[in-house]
Amino acid sequence: MRAAGPSFRLDGKRALVTGAGRGIGLAIAQAFARAGAEVTLCARTAPEIEAAAAALCAEGLVATALALDVTDVAAFEAAIEARPAFDIFVNNAGTNRPKPLSEVTEEDYDAVMGLNLRAAVFCARAVTRQMVAAGQGGSVINMSSQMGHVGARDRTLYCASKWALEGFTKALAVELGGQGIRVNTICPTFIETPMTKPFFDNPEFRAAVLSKIKLGRLGLVEDITGGAVFLASDASSLMTGSALMLDGGWTAD
């Protein structure tokens, strides 16, 4: 008898996506809902996530908005504790302040490390506590970057935060594997989003980026959603502690 093919469906699963107001986070939330999940979109910008959730519901899908700042550890933890355990968590909220180290300020450090690492760690703590208590397993997807595997000019803070997130992911995968909770990262190359578009208006910067991407183009949010659905679904049931490189070949050399 032939084995059944892998299922990329998320029916019956509850998913939480942070940074879901726009860009990659919004695209992932939409993809999850269309794959059958009940999705909660989390971001500080209430109008954006409420409109996105309403649009998904208008498609006959299930989506709700959760407006809060993930850097407020106590508020995030309280919101998670007030809800049933999630099956899928995408730790997506993040930021960047590219500049030479000589120009980096303490405020820059606190902003980048506070959101990309501190908030990611404590958000994962809140969500996985609930997963463990429910005894149902789950999938945690930490949004990392190709910059969690290489270095780049003007990205000392960003690289530091993403390299740390990669180590955190591997350690958490070891810690929670026995509870059936898988923990992986997605590592995109440069993706055209509302946040990154202004950088690409600089022809020199755009050319420099494209020279490193072996496939010769910038990434789109749609290039990330397939990997996210894969990691959220049973199709990746034996995958944990790994980094899914969606970098167009940037790190291949």
Torsion sign, CA atoms 202, 203, 207, 213: positive
Cα 32 from chain centre? 13
Catalytic residue among 89, 158, 190, 250: 158
**CB contact burial 89-124 (16+ within 10 A = b; e otherwise):** bbbbbbbbbbeeeeebeeebeebbbbbbbbbbbbbb
* Nearest of 141, 127, 166, 145 to residue 233 by alpha carbon: 141
* Nearest of 7, 170, 179, 221 to residue 87 by alpha carbon: 179
Indicate the helix (H) or strand (E) that contains 65.
strand 62-67
Q: Is 141 helix (H, G, I), strand (E, B) or coil?
A: strand
Distance in angstroms (rounded) separating the CA atoms of residues 191 and 43? 19
The string of DSSP codes covering 155-174 is -HHHHHHHHHHHHHHHHHHH
Distance in angstroms (rounded) separating the CA atoms of residues 211 and 232? 32
Task: Tell me whether residue 158 is one of the annotated catalytic residues.
Answer: yes
Distance in angstroms (rounded) separating the CA atoms of residues 231 and 244? 9
Token pair in block for residue 17 = 């996506």
Catalytic residue ranges: 158
